Homo-oligomer: A and B are copies of this chain.
Amino acid sequence: MAGALVDVKPTPILKEELDIVIPTIRNLDFLEMWRPFFEPYHLIIVQDGDPSRTIKVPDGFDYELYNRNDINRILGPKASCISFKDSACRCFGYLVSKKKYIFTIDDDCFVAKDPSGKEINALEQHIKNLLNPSTPLFFNTLYDPYREGADFVRGYPFSLREGVPTAVSHGLWLNIPDYDAPTQLAKPLERNTRFVDAVLTIPKGTLFPMCGMNLAFNRELIGPAMYFGLMGDGQPIGRYDDMWAGWCMKVICDHLGYGVKTGLPYIWHSKASNPFVNLKKEYNGIFWQEELIPFFQSAVLTKECTTVQQCYIELSKLVKAKLGKIDPYFLKLADAMVTWVEAWDELNGKVDVDQQ
């Protein structure tokens, strides 16, 4: 019932309502391949590393570009919450966007093909995922019930078939899979060739590893929770930026009743990062995540938290109280979480003024 109605209509492209955020340190030649799909949209490019370098953007794209000097100028002392020399800097783009939706993609990701050989419009699939509801309260064995040719199966409670608003759409990667350094080292030749034609809702109460390579979200619903943490330059950890955001975001979505989808669309991830460099970045995270997962699995937000900002501040307090003992880094991170929300509210205006 649901599927047919949704899919026979063309997917709205939301040209005026979506920004594409790209963190980079190099010329954006990769955009050439995306031109047919991305050209109608506005790009927010977050230049990492040396701000004196010039990043070339192919002609015809509409963009704004921020380097470290811009970030420092715009945020002042609050710029301390934005990572440097790590793709975590991308969340600055979420902060300065004025749009309802964000799609973020890495500059080593190209257009993938489906099994029929057709080029996949990743952004269109993300938009479909975000505009259709999620079903976190009960698992549907035919996956996304709102897709064409699918529905809720026998035994699915009718009261749950409206679903809940979708906050996040997590896309996947063909070719180079998103492995950690130990797995990269152990399986240097592994490539992901399996095209799984599914979109599904991550159930309520379940955590997952959110990868920032190919990710879209509803900024109005969940933006202030999409903070990518303190990583890279001056920090004892890297490559956990998207994971951190994913765990915080999922706890808050579960609390507020929003959905998170994973699966389609695929992009083509072109090159594996260096596993030795990655191991150095990930080293602490490999130990710490063993304590972070139980922490997030048991994190409970109080009923009084009714906005993303309130949830995020409460989570930062839990981080300080419960994770500080792992390493002083988490005390600093908890403070940065607060700074991030302050910066968000400063640039975006408070949405919960009546509750202050």
Contact = CB atoms under 8 A, between A and B. Distances in A.
B293 A208 contact: no
A192 B142 contact: yes
Interface string A137-159: 01111110001011111111111
A56 interface: no
Contacts of A208: 138-141
B139 A207 contact: yes
Nearest to A183: B151
A183 B152 contact: yes
A289 interface: yes
A117 interface: no
Interface in A159-215: 159-160, 170, 172, 177-180, 182-183, 186-187, 190-198, 202-211
A171 to B, nearest CB: 10
Contacts of A183: 1, 151-152, 154
Which of A152, A153, A198, A202 has the largest number of chain B CB atoms within 10 A?
Answer: A153
A186 B205 CA distance: 33
Contacts of A186: 1
A207 B138 contact: yes
Interface string A238-281: 01101100100000000000000010000000000000000000
A290 interface: yes
Contacts of A207: 138-139
Contact of A153 (B160, B178, B187, B195): B178
A6 interface: no
Contacts of A205: 203, 205-206
A115 interface: yes
A286 interface: yes
Nearest to A182: B158
Nearest to A287: B158
Each complex incorporates copies of this chain amounting to 2
Which of A155, A193, A196, A209 has the largest number of chain B CB atoms within 10 A?
Answer: A155
B177 A209 contact: no
Contacts of A159: 290
Contacts of A191: 149
A194 B141 contact: no
Contacts of A194: 142, 147, 149-150, 197
Contact of A142 (B138, B177, B210, B290): B177
A206 B206 contact: yes
B156 A209 contact: yes
Interface string A214-243: 000000000000000000000000011011
B158 A290 contact: yes
A208 B142 CA distance: 11
Contacts of A160: 293
A132 to B, nearest CB: 16
Nearest to A4: B187
B289 A209 contact: no
A154 B211 contact: yes
B142 A172 contact: yes
B243 A209 contact: no
**Shortest 7 CB-CB contacts between residues of A and residues of B:** A155-B209, A139-B208, A203-B206, A155-B243, A154-B180, A196-B198, A205-B205
6 contacts: A151-B187, A154-B209, A156-B180, A203-B203, A203-B205, A205-B206
